[in-house]
Amino acid sequence: MTADQFVFEFQNTIPQLKSYILRTTASVEDTEEIVQDTFLKGSAKLDSFQGDSSLKTWIFAIASNLTKDNLRAKKRWPETVTDICREKALDNPAISVYPGKKSHSPHGVIHWGANS
């Protein structure tokens, strides 16, 4: 693959790449920086692209790793359902965070489940 082919393919991938990174980081500034870093790293490592996957897949793998590095460096990951449940459990240990399980508390029985 030539550098010109890489640039052409990368430019076609930018809209999807930005969308993916923005959803992950929730930061326009970080997204722009990661897209630029992805291009630079991909350009520098182009000789390691073996063609076992599509170029788009390879570019997304680079971007994904850079995004994880960015979030790790900032110690900022998007909140997940697990994080929310853990936080609720720490705030109120009487609440069971497992659906369908009952937890007894001095204030009665609290249910989390389909009927909550």
- Could you list the residue range(s) of the whole structural domain that residue 104 is in? 81-111
Q: Residue 97 has what pLDDT? A: 44
**Could you give the number of structural domains in the chain?**
2
CA atoms within 13 A on the CB side of 62: 24
Same domain, 86 and 69: no
Q: Give the model's confidence band at 4: pLDDT under 50 very low, under 70 low, under 90 confident, else very high.
A: very high
User: What is the three-class DSSP state of 23?
Assistant: helix
Looking at the fold, whether 11 and 65 belong to one and the same domain comes out as yes
User: What is the Cα 12 distance to its own chain's centre?
Assistant: 22
- Number of H helices and E strands in the chain, helices first, is 4, 2
Please report which confidence band the pLDDT of residue 1 belongs to, taking 50, 70 and 90 as the band edges: confident
Per-residue pLDDT of 13-67, as tens digits, reads: 999 999 999 998 888 999 999 999 999 999 999 999 988 999 999 999 999 999 9
| One domain, residues 91 and 70 | no
pTM recorded for the entire structure? 0.64
Residue 77 has pLDDT above 70, yes or no: no
